[in-house]
Amino acid sequence: MADKQLTHGEVIDVLRKVLDDGNLSGVEVNDLQKIARTSETIPERSRYLLLNLAFEVNQALGYGPIYFSTTRQKYAAEILCDFLERNGPQRFPKLDRNRVGIDLLLRVANPNIINQQNAGLCGPVSFLYSLAFDSPAAYARYGIDLFENGKAKIGRIEVEPGSDCRNYAPQPPMSHGEWLTAGSLRDSENFLLDYDGVDRNWFSDGATNSEVARWFSKAGYTDVRAEDNMFSSRGASDIDLINKLYNDGYRIMLRINSKLLKPKQQADSSWKGNHFVILRSPIAVTGQEVRLTVYTWGWGQWDIPAPNTKMSPAGFREHWYGYVVAKPF
């Protein structure tokens, strides 16, 4: 059978059909990759898109399945396919439309793929991670509008990154999608300093509890609360409150010292919070042992303490310096 001349629109239609069942499986990804490698008439842009999709899915295998199982996720996937299909102007000249679209597509399917790498964007990422779960279409539209227009809104949040941020070329392993969404949010909030690269700069990339809480409030979350004792750890009663809110369906960001995540440093003392993680389980206290699971950096789900080790409630609180909680809309 002769190789049919394909258009880019027809390739995107194939992708839409693959996503129709709500699951992007390994077999389907391999089939798409085969089309890209064997077709002699597929447009080069389409070939690159399918090969990039296969590469990114393989990179994301450790973060769980790629599901578009809810109506919200399917709608987000549809508008991202529209984005991938069209050409047009872009305000981030060093980002690639295909890579951005695939990055956002995978993240609305599984927000655990969101990965700040070494960019120091834990505050923006903690907010965008929650948004991708609760309103994947708003997350997708935010990224699309930034890429095409150079500015975007999430509820009452107005994001318009500066020229340096828009003209930055993120280097691997930093993804185009993460730079576009999280880097822009961070840069747009900086009134005195630009955020124009991934080199760590606390004054330009660090977010405070009040900033993160403001993003949640402006995005439409309700009952947003922020507590920040930056230089002293939380008390025992805070664990009960956080567990109640977690069981009531709230999104919960814990401000911690990053020693809490490192088995060799968990027994050390700390003196301030320097990182946000997202709580992904209740904080289980059994006698003098505590266990919890968080989402952090690009590690996905992370157990505290590490398997086959123990931590006391006091040891946990030593590295816990505050929180932001918000009820999804």
pLDDT tens-digit series, residues 207-235: 889 999 999 999 999 999 999 887 778 88
Yes or no: say if 43 and 8 are a contact pair by the CB < 8 Å rule.
Answer: yes
pLDDT at 190: 63
The answer to whether residues 116 and 297 touch, using CB atoms and an 8 Å cutoff, is: yes
Confidence of residue 200 (pLDDT cuts 50, 70, 90): very low
Closest CA to 82 of 6, 147, 168: 147
- The confidence score (pLDDT) of residue 11 equals 97
Q: What is the mean pLDDT of residues 122-131?
A: 92
In terms of phi and psi (left: phi > 0; alpha: psi -120 to 50; beta: otherwise), the region of 122 is alpha
In the predicted structure, residue 92 carries a pLDDT above the cut 70:
yes
pLDDT band, very low/low/confident/very high, at 118 (cuts 50, 70, 90): low
Task: Spell out the alpha helix ranges (H) of 206-294.
Answer: 209-219, 236-247
pLDDT at 59: 87
Lowest mean pLDDT among 9-13, 150-154, 234-238, 249-253: 234-238
Mean pLDDT of 292-297: 90
What integer is the mean pLDDT of 88-102?
97
pLDDT of 193 = 38
Amino acid 195: pLDDT: 40
Q: Which of 140-149, 193-202, 269-278 has the highest mean pLDDT?
A: 140-149
Q: Where are the beta strands (DSSP E) in the chain?
A: 152-154, 157-159, 222-228, 251-256, 275-279, 284-286, 289-296, 300-304, 320-327
205 pLDDT above the threshold of 60: no
Instruction: Report pLDDT digits (tens) over 26-68.
Output: 999 999 999 999 999 999 999 999 999 999 999 887 888 899 9
Is the per-residue pLDDT at 197 higher than 70? no
pLDDT on residue 192 = 33
Closest by CA to 85, choosing from 176, 22, 138, 15, is 15
Query: Cα separation of 138 and 131, whole Å?
Result: 7
Position 203 scores a pLDDT of 32
Euclidean distance between CA atoms 156 and 144, whole angstroms? 17
The average pLDDT across 113-136 equals 87
Q: What is the mean pLDDT of residues 70-86?
A: 98
Cα of 222 vs its chain's centroid, Å = 21
How is residue 202 written in tokens? 């606390």
pTM of this prediction? 0.91
More confident residue, 18 or 235: 18
Q: How confident is the model at residue 188 (pLDDT cuts 50, 70, 90)?
A: confident
User: Rounded CA gap, 242 and 138, in Å?
Assistant: 27
Q: What is the mean pLDDT of residues 284-289?
A: 96
Give the mean pLDDT of the chain.
90
